[in-house]
Every structure is written in structure tokens, then in C-alpha cells.
Structure 1
Amino acid sequence: MPAAQPIQIKPTAPKHYVVKKGDTLWDIAKRFLNTPWNWPEIWYDNPHIKNPHWIYPGDVLTLYYVNGQPRISVTGGPRVSSIKTVVLKPSVEYQKLPKTEHPIPIQTITPFLVHPRVVPVDIFDKAPHIVAAADSRILYDSGNRVYVRGLKSDAKQNWYSVYRPGGVLKDPKTGEVIGHQVLYLGDIHILKRGRIATGILEHTREEVTAGDRLLPLVRKHYNYTFMPTAPKTTINAQVIALFNSISMVGQYQVVVLDTGTRDGLRRGDVLAVDQYGRMIVDRYATRQESRDVRLPNQKVGLVMVFRTFKRISYALVMSATDPIMVGDLVHNP
């Protein structure tokens, strides 16, 4: 387990801060802390208000100390001022709370929660696949009847999403394939099960063909609450893929890491990103010294994990001083 870092309150941290619409939890944590992932250690709930773990526009956050330890809690704002003492007159008061502010830009990560872009190899290689259409056509579209092989006959789910396998992702250390990059093509409604199942394609974005794979259709409400925190285990990993970019990404773009729940990684964990120091030739080296020298690694950013699998995870770039690239090192902040 990595050693706990001391809480570092910024010299410029305000004693009071009023949450504004558009603030993210990450932004607020950076106002108070040099290490925003330590926010859970100083955040103290107000048990007398509803949803004490959430922060709303209008909340007044106060920084104070107890036995020398910093704490922050909600001490004012609509949720606090609206609490009334009722004497001998039982009543119920309802007040609509303003829209909550999320710790990260939700619109950025939602597509990765609904339709995965990288799928672990142990899941994708066992996924059912389309074998043919009802007629002799090669490419299929919405409304076309197709046949599927590999569906379990006792499965209760009738709706699936269709994906096409793309490039493979390998463990940088061993070369082992650990995931597939995939392209979402559309959905399929299974009409009849059997050794070869029958289905109808729906909502296709691109043409489907034999060999495309089926994964369960996601119809659940995601918990978009992410509390930035430091990992509880020691993480030493790498960036193995980028999205919406050929060679590099910056703030609020998504990367894939070659680490996951198997290594103790959790949603909300914050990790530092380093780039390898470049190799140089030291023209002034002594005879006893090598002329080839690698400079120290350089910290280039922070990422926060928002979706985990067994051996890979998705992370959002929270800050970056330089572009983040495939091969960059990822470790405890």
C-alpha cells in the first residue's frame, strides 16, 4: 500500500467559497488543495442536510481546522438556510434543489459508458457473432434479418449491441493481447433462439457484416458521482491507447490504461502521468562515464479513472502540461 501523503492546503485557499453553476468537484478541490485527489480526506458531511455527499450551486463551503487537521463542509446556502425548526406543528416542507454539479465533464465520458470503445479480450473473444443474413447480401442494415451463432439458449436478454473488432491492445511488458478496440455499429433484437439464432438489426450507424460481434445492450442509469481520490494500492502502468487522436491527447480527453480491478484500481482514482526522459549524448562525460544518458522522467499530467475492467480501464485527462501519448507511464500521484 502506498504511503499516505500529507494534506497540502494551498496558501491561497479561501476560508469560504460559494459554489457556482459550472463548477466541477475537481475545480473546487484544486482551489483548496495542492493534491485534489485528497479531497475525500478533508470533506466532512453535514448530516442534517439531504444528499450530504453532493455539492450544489449556492452551497457555502467553509475551511476550518479540528486538532490541526483541515476540514471542509457546507455551512451556508439554500440547503442550510432552508432548514427550519418546527415546534408543535408537524409539517413537511419540500424544496426543489438546483441541479447538481458533477466532478468531471459528464458529456465527455458518457459515450464510453454507454458504448465501450475497448473491450477486454476475455469478453470479446467469447462474444456471439453474426454469420449471415437471411438473403445472400454481404452488408446488412436496419431492418435486415440476420443469423447469430454463439448465443446461449437460456439467456433472457433479447437486445444486444453490435460491434466490429479493430486493433488489438497488448500488455507493454509481455506482449499479451489484453483488449480489442471496437466500433459500435448498431443494435439487434433477437427474435428466435437456437443453435443459430435469428435477429433483426435496428438503429445501425454503419453497415454490418458477418463476423461482427454482439455484446449485451446497456439500458441502465449510470452513477455519475466520481469522488477524486488516491489509489489504495500501488499502481505502475502505461497508457496503451488514445481516443479521437492519432498520437497525443490533452485535458478532458480519454485514454486507456493497462491496469484495472485486478490491480486494485477503482472509479475515481487519480493517477499521475510521466513521460520517459529523452536520451542525449553527454559530450562532457569522463572516460569512466557513459556518453549516452537518459534524462529523468517528466510529469506531464493527471488522469482520473472512470470505468474499470479486470485488466484495462478508461481514464479522463484532468490536467496536462504537455501532450499525453501512448507509452507514457502512469502511477500513484
Structure 2
Amino acid sequence: MPAATPLPPEKPPAATPVKIKPTAPKRYVVKKGDTLWDIAEHFLHSPWNWPEIWYDNPHIKNPHWIYPGDVLTLYYVNGKPRISITGGPRVSGLPTVILKPSVEYQALPRTEHPIPIQTITPFLVHPRVVPVELFDKAPHIVAAADRRILYSSDNRVYVRGLPADAKQSWYSVYRPGPPLKDPKNGDIIGHEVVYLGDIHIIHRGKIATGVLEHTREEVSAGDRLLPLARKHYDYTFMPRAPKTQIHAQIIALFNSISMVGQYQVVVIDSGTRDGLERGDVLAIDQHGRTINDPYATRQESRQVTLPNEHIGLVMVFRTFKRISYALVMSATKPITVGNLAHNP
């Protein structure tokens, strides 16, 4: 058998030219509630081009963060547009108000996040879709100490599959839901899961012992354990176009049966192995309809498929190996399972 010939390396996607809107302001003052996406849309036709025009202010702490009161100015250097912070409390200095008999300092307001952060926080703390390679190997509950069938907070249960050398003593408990399949080949690439509560492991061994805590629903044998997420998440997202060519599909929706819209969450069938990163923006297309053309000539087929239609944009905010979570940033039509996701 002849040796396999490696495929040529995939060409990086062509950079989208930066286009400033004719209505773009020369000066913009950041307001409370602004998101980076909103601000980028004031200046750009394509908000994901923001990193290409943002100019860091080296004299400002956390120059990538934007605060209410910051004055953003649009200017040009060698014909290329730039935006930077040119005014506001961080540039001019915060006013000091002298009171008797003490001095009061006014603190900086909280940073405004690039996206509506309250929408994605639950998906960062407790996953709703878990990669198959992680979930299938997860430890599982086998029984309760008192032989009951359903368990809740303070019940002692037995766990199988927990590594003997595992140092972590707290885990979250999830119930497996429908499997998610790769639409290209039918392989199972993930599981929808339901968060049930937490468990504290008190005795280790081939069959470990744990105590359930903070249960939201009743737990039963077969429910799986995943490490408890107790870490600080970086909520700074810089929208940008992917560095690699992405050809993906939406494979699941959250909090909806059949369709979602702006600021709702979807799952796509591409992840880190495809080059996706947090902040990557993808265009969403609806498949073109196949219709019957009664006016077709004898040489033409009566069945004709219309072009795909662009219906929205999503931004990736959490990645796994083969799947990613993405937030719908804009939508002109309802977004459904099966819609295409690709470079904008």
C-alpha cells in the first residue's frame, strides 16, 4: 500500500478589511451598561475587527478594559484608523473631595463587560453540554448507604470510578441527557447534562463514600461526578475573526425547544482542535430552500436549491476539544439546530 500523502496546510482566512461607518463618532463617552460589542458597532461595520483598531494606552492600568466615563477618540495614523482612550477619570485623574474631618476618595466604577455577562455566567459555572471524552470516563454514583432509590442533601452515597490519587474532595453531580452527534459522521461528541448538586467525598477507596450537598433535584444511581468549578473566570472577551477556517453547525440550543435569538446560547460542533478560541465571532447561515422551478428549461433541473442566507452572528465564549458554547450577538431570523457557522 502506498504511503499516505499529507494534505497541504489550510490557508489562513483572508482578513476582513476594516470599514469605519460613515456615521462613526469622532469621540464617544462610555456609558454604564455599554458592552464592547455595542461600542464597536458605533464605529465599525464589522464589530469583530475591533482588535485591529484598538490602540493600547500604556499609561493606563488595564488598557484593554473599558469603564464608564472613558472618552474614546477615533483618529488615523498613516491612513489607518485607530481608537484609544483620550479622556475621562483614568486620564485626568479622579477628583478628591475633602471633607471635615476626613478625606473621601471616589473609586473607579466597575468595568463594563464586552457582552451581557449575566447571560453566560451559568454556562461557565455549571456546564450544560459536556464533551463525550470527559463525561464517559467520569465517576458515577452506584448506591446510597441506606438503600433508598432517590437521594438528596445530607444523604450518604457510594461512588465508583474516582481515582485513588485524586486530591479534590468536592465535585458537582450531573445527570446525562440526550447525546449530541457530529452531523458530518454521526459520532457522539458530547452529552447534554443537568446539574443536580454537589458532593463532598469523605472516604476514598475503590468504592468511595460521599455526602450530597446543595441538591437542586433528586439524585440517583448512574449520575456522574465532575470536578466542582470554584475558580475565577476571565470575563474579558475581545471579539475577533477566527485565525483558522471554520466550517461548523449548530447542534444544540439552550432554554428553547426549536429556536433562539439575540443573547441566547448555542452549541457548535467545533472546538479547540479546529482552532476556535474565546472571543471568536462566527457568521450564521440558514440553509437555502430547495424548491420546484416550473419555468425550468428542458436542460435544467426542476429542483433548484436557493443560496444560503446570512441570519446572524455568534461569539464563542467557552471551548472544549470538539464543541464550543457561543452567544448569539445578533439575529435577523430565528436560529435553529442545523444552521451553518463559518468565518464572518
Aligned residue for 1:91?
none
Aligned residue for 1:270?
281
**How far apart are the structure 1 equivalents of 2:213 and 2:42?**
47
Quick one: which amino acid aligns to residue 63 of structure 1? L
Superposition pairs for residues 244-263 of structure 1, below 5 Å?
A: 244-263=255-274
Q: Alpha-carbon deviation of 1:83? A: 8.1
Aligned residue for 1:162?
173
Aligned residue for 2:190?
179
**How far apart are the structure 2 equivalents of 1:145 and 1:82?**
57
SS of structure 2 residue aligned to 1:318 = strand
**How far apart are the structure 1 equivalents of 2:63 and 2:109?**
14
**How far apart are the structure 2 equivalents of 1:15 and 1:159?**
52
**How far apart are the structure 2 equivalents of 1:225 and 1:114?**
16
Q: Within the alignment, does 1:213 sit opposite 2:187 as a pair?
A: no
Superposition pairs for residues 59-74 of structure 1, below 5 Å?
A: 59-74=70-85
SS of structure 2 residue aligned to 1:200 = strand
Quick one: which amino acid aligns to residue 285 of structure 1? A
Q: Within the alignment, does 1:297 sit opposite 2:311 as a pair?
A: no
CA 75–185 in structure 1, closer or farther in 2 if over 3 Å, else same: same
Aligned residue for 1:326?
337
Aligned residue for 1:193?
204
- The superposition leaves residues 87-123 of structure 1 with CA deviations (integer Å, 9 ceiling, x where unpaired) of xxxxxxx862111000111110000000000000000
**How far apart are the structure 2 equivalents of 1:83 and 1:76?**
12
**How far apart are the structure 2 equivalents of 1:49 and 1:301?**
35
SS of structure 2 residue aligned to 1:240 = strand
Aligned length: 325
Quick one: which amino acid aligns to residue 108 of structure 2? L
TM-score, normalised to structure 1, is 0.96
The answer as to whether partners of 2:21 and 2:45 remain within 8 angstroms in 1 is yes
Q: Alpha-carbon deviation of 1:265? A: 0.2
**How far apart are the structure 2 equivalents of 1:79 and 1:194?**
55
- Identity, % of aligned pairs? 82
CA 40–83 in structure 1, closer or farther in 2 if over 3 Å, else same: same
- The superposition leaves residues 27-69 of structure 1 with CA deviations (integer Å, 9 ceiling, x where unpaired) of 0000000010000000001111111111110011000000000
| Alignment counterpart, residue 81 of structure 1, candidates 77, 84, 92 | 92
Q: Within the alignment, does 1:142 sit opposite 2:156 as a pair?
A: no
Q: Within the alignment, does 1:29 sit opposite 2:40 as a pair?
A: yes
Quick one: which amino acid aligns to residue 153 of structure 1? A
**How far apart are the structure 2 equivalents of 1:257 and 1:95?**
44
**How far apart are the structure 2 equivalents of 1:173 and 1:127?**
26
**How far apart are the structure 2 equivalents of 1:165 and 1:83?**
52
The answer as to whether partners of 2:94 and 2:106 remain within 8 angstroms in 1 is no
| Alignment counterpart, residue 317 of structure 1, candidates 328, 333, 336 | 328
TM-score, normalised to structure 2, is 0.93
Aligned residue for 1:19?
30
SS of structure 1 residue aligned to 2:329 = strand
Quick one: which amino acid aligns to residue 259 of structure 1? S
Q: Within the alignment, does 1:100 sit opposite 2:111 as a pair?
A: yes
| Alignment counterpart, residue 132 of structure 1, candidates 131, 143, 149 | 143
SS of structure 2 residue aligned to 1:214 = strand
Quick one: which amino acid aligns to residue 239 of structure 1? I
- The superposition leaves residues 174-194 of structure 1 with CA deviations (integer Å, 9 ceiling, x where unpaired) of 000000000000000000000
- The superposition leaves residues 303-322 of structure 1 with CA deviations (integer Å, 9 ceiling, x where unpaired) of 00000000000000000000
Quick one: which amino acid aligns to residue 103 of structure 1? P
SS of structure 2 residue aligned to 1:110 = helix
**How far apart are the structure 1 equivalents of 2:194 and 2:93?**
49
SS of structure 2 residue aligned to 1:197 = strand
**How far apart are the structure 1 equivalents of 2:269 and 2:304?**
28
Quick one: which amino acid aligns to residue 277 of structure 1? G
Which blocks of at least 5 consecutive residues in structure 1 are unaligned? Answer: 85-93
**How far apart are the structure 1 equivalents of 2:279 and 2:13?**
17
Quick one: which amino acid aligns to residue 217 of structure 2? E
Quick one: which amino acid aligns to residue 48 of structure 1? H
Q: Within the alignment, does 1:110 sit opposite 2:126 as a pair?
A: no
- The superposition leaves residues 220-247 of structure 1 with CA deviations (integer Å, 9 ceiling, x where unpaired) of 0100000001100000000000000000
Quick one: which amino acid aligns to residue 12 of structure 1? T
